[in-house]
Amino acid sequence: MKQKQAMIEGILFSMGGSVSKKQLMTALDVDEDVLAYLIDQLKREYKRKERGIQLLELDGAYQMCTKPEYYEQLIKIVKHPKKPKLTDVMMETLSIIAYKQPVTKQEIEAIRGVKCDHPVNKLLEYNLICEAGRMDAVGRPILFKTTEEFLRCFGVASIKDLPVVQEDKVEDFKMEAQEEVKFALDDAETEKMEEK
């Protein structure tokens, strides 16, 4: 078993990116239960010892990466700038995509009540979302979904692990959004009257 764990470590280290369960089972010639046991043992070992790496599960795949607490030291060597901060608008757009995926830009705009070209383009640039094909409808709009980078950044193994929004909160959010739209319309109307 120790040799199989060493093989997993070697594969994940060499690949750099994520490797699917299926690929690991094929490479090690083990079934899913044995792989789960081996992965669990490796995760425990990395947590128990003062190690600089961790083993992440990302939607049915595994990746070895640096622990977040060592990021500051890492960027001193690679001179890589810190990841850009996400604005409230970008977080709101990303949340809609995460919970409604696959979703079109038009659907996002219908939920937000405003255009979302800029936040969608930034989220694509940051590799937090990607195109997931096209909707079979007039104009064939692009569908968007979250990426492995999204899972990695937010520390979840799968979109199924995202927090569930309570129904009463959803109603509160809807009321807040309706009030925001009403105020925006009132402001626009006031501006038009002032121009006259």
Q: What pLDDT score does 44 carry? A: 87
Q: What is the count of structural domains for the chain?
A: 2
Whether residues 101 and 56 fall in one domain: no
Whether residues 95 and 56 fall in one domain: no
Residue type at 127 in one-letter notation: N
For 98-127, b where at least 16 C-beta lie within 10 A, e where not — what string? beeebbbbebbbebbeeebeebbebbeebe
**In terms of Cα–Cα distance, which of 118, 121, 127, 120 is closest to 152?**
127
Whether residues 63 and 116 fall in one domain: no
Whether residues 94 and 63 fall in one domain: no
Query: β-strands 103-104, 129-134: how paired?
Result: unpaired
- Domain of 21 in residue numbering reads as 2-67
Q: What is the pLDDT of residues 51-109, one digit of tens each?
A: 888 888 888 899 998 888 888 888 778 765 556 688 989 999 999 999 999 999 999 99
Q: DSSP string spanning 114-136? A: S--HHHHHHHHHTTSEEEEEE-S
Mean pLDDT in residue range 161-174: 71
Q: What pLDDT score does 39 carry? A: 92
Whether residues 62 and 129 fall in one domain: no
Answer whether residue 77 is part of any domain.
Answer: no
Q: What is the pLDDT of residues 135-159, one digit of tens each?
A: 888 889 999 999 998 998 888 888 8
Confidence grade of residue 111 (pLDDT, cut at 50, 70, 90):
confident
pTM of the model: 0.59
Answer whether residue 103 is part of any domain.
Answer: yes
Whether residues 63 and 18 fall in one domain: yes
Answer whether residue 177 is part of any domain.
Answer: no
